[in-house]
Amino acid sequence: MTASENIRIFFRDSLGLLSLDVAFEAPMKGITALFGPSGSGKTTVLRCIAGLHRARWGRCEIGSDIWQAEGYFRPVYERRIGYVFQEASLFAHLSVKNNLLFGMQDKNEDRMQSFSEVVRLLGVEYLLNRMPIKLSGGERQRVAIGRALLSGPGLLLMDEPLSALDTASKEEIMPYLERLQASLDIPIFYVSHDMNEVDRLADHLVLIENGHVLASGSLAKLQSDPSLMLASRPHAAVSLNAEVVSYDSDFKIARFAINGGFLNAPSQKLEIGDRRRLKIYAGDVSLSRAAASSSTIDNHIPVRITDFRETEPAQIIVFMALGHEGSGERLLARITKKSWATLGLDVGQRLYAQIKAVELFRRSDQ
């Protein structure tokens, strides 16, 4: 990937107790998640990208377009961004339709076609004549996202858009965010401190702590990096992009191809070629020296151990690559120290991973 196809970020500044010093690259398509604890500087980075804050030292390149460099700072109104805040902040005196139309600079035939597409994408057709006071939290946030998209941005910035929502509202809006990931051709920066959101939505991940970048790379790569703490968290998991290769209508089981093997997962009817994201928790993976001849576990994949880390209490996180040659996707397993010793496991060994459950996410606008 050439530099012009990347987003390149560098900001350094002191803001109160926060010493900001971040540098990373991100792709020009898909969702890049800025993840870290509260107060780590995620929102500050987003504000610097937007031009709402001018870092004392900084460089911001969106592909070949320079927004900030030494001696140059493009004002926020010239940056072609859409910004979605934690609170929807809709105009209370305007209907949903007029809130959506507010961000459109012109309303010619092409732009009205975009309006129809955004309304469909976010599923707000039935809300157009309502007033904001009549909307749920999830509905308000969908309208706010639509308004940002209709401004015609080249970059969408989302600052913890689900943090103000309850669990039910988060589940309501999540499929629509997945649609954005699958449908939009513009890059999205998504700030979050909820790893479940990141697992489900992100393509690229930037880990930020105390104003510094700990790591930056593809989501799957960082999820399975032994040097990072993500694999040691209680609900550690890997997210894999997969394609449907067959569907069993009798048992409602879809078979997915991934790099290094195949996985089966219960699902409603899917078409061959459909793409979905699969999430596999480390606690749902067990290891065996031989392929099971009969088992209630439906997924058995050859793997090779690439690394391991001891955790407490008395557990080990095993890092693996799919395929006996270890050339496929990465996988995690959480096992006991006793099991590790009993099986005589070590780096480089070829085993079989038995996957008890595969969580299936919706990844299209179907």
Same domain, residue pair 135 and 181:
yes
Predicted pLDDT at 324: 85
**Higher-pLDDT residue of 27, 111:** 27
Looking at the fold, whether 274 and 205 belong to one and the same domain comes out as no
User: Does residue 366 sit within a domain?
Assistant: no
Same-domain status, 217 and 272: no
Q: What is the average pLDDT across 77-90?
A: 91
Judgement on whether residues 152 and 107 belong to the same structural domain of the protein: yes
For residues 64 and 104, what is the distance between their CA atoms, to the nearest angstrom? Answer: 25
pLDDT for residue 361: 79
Residue of 364 and 38 predicted with greater confidence: 38
Same domain, 32 and 179: yes
User: Is residue 229 a part of any domain in this protein?
Assistant: no
Q: What pLDDT is recorded for position 366?
A: 42
CATH number at residue 116: 3.40.50.300
113 or 315: whose pLDDT is higher? 315
Min mean pLDDT across 107-121, 157-171, 334-348 is at 107-121
Q: Which helix (H) or strand (E) holds 53?
A: none
Question: Is position 199 within any domain?
Answer: yes
Report in angstroms the alpha-carbon separations of 150 from 84, 91, 102: 12, 16, 9
The pLDDT of 165-179, averaged and rounded, is 89
Q: Is the pLDDT of residue 290 over 60?
A: yes
Helices (H), the chain: 42-50, 96-102, 109-122, 137-149, 167-183, 195-201, 219-223, 337-343
Q: How many domains does the chain have?
A: 2
Instruction: Give yes or no: residues 207 and 251 share one domain.
Output: no
176: number of Cβ within 10 Å: 19
pLDDT category at 296 given cuts 50, 70, 90 is: confident
Does residue 291 lie within any of the structural domains? yes
Give 188-207 pLDDT, tens digit per residue.
999 999 999 999 999 999 99
For range 291-299, the mean pLDDT: 79
Contact by Cβ (8 Å): 255, 244: yes
Q: In the predicted model, what is the mean pLDDT of residues 34-63?
A: 96
Residue 184 in domain: yes
Q: What is the mean pLDDT of the chain?
A: 91
Looking at the domain assignment, is residue 326 inside a domain?
yes
Contact indicator for 63, 7 with CB cutoff of 8 Å: yes
Shared domain for 276 and 141, answered yes or no, is no
Q: By residue range, what is the domain housing residue 216? A: 3-223
Residues 192 and 92 in one domain: yes
Q: Is residue 270 part of a domain?
A: yes
Could you tell me if 58 and 14 lie in one domain? yes
Lowest mean pLDDT among 2-11, 40-49, 259-268: 2-11
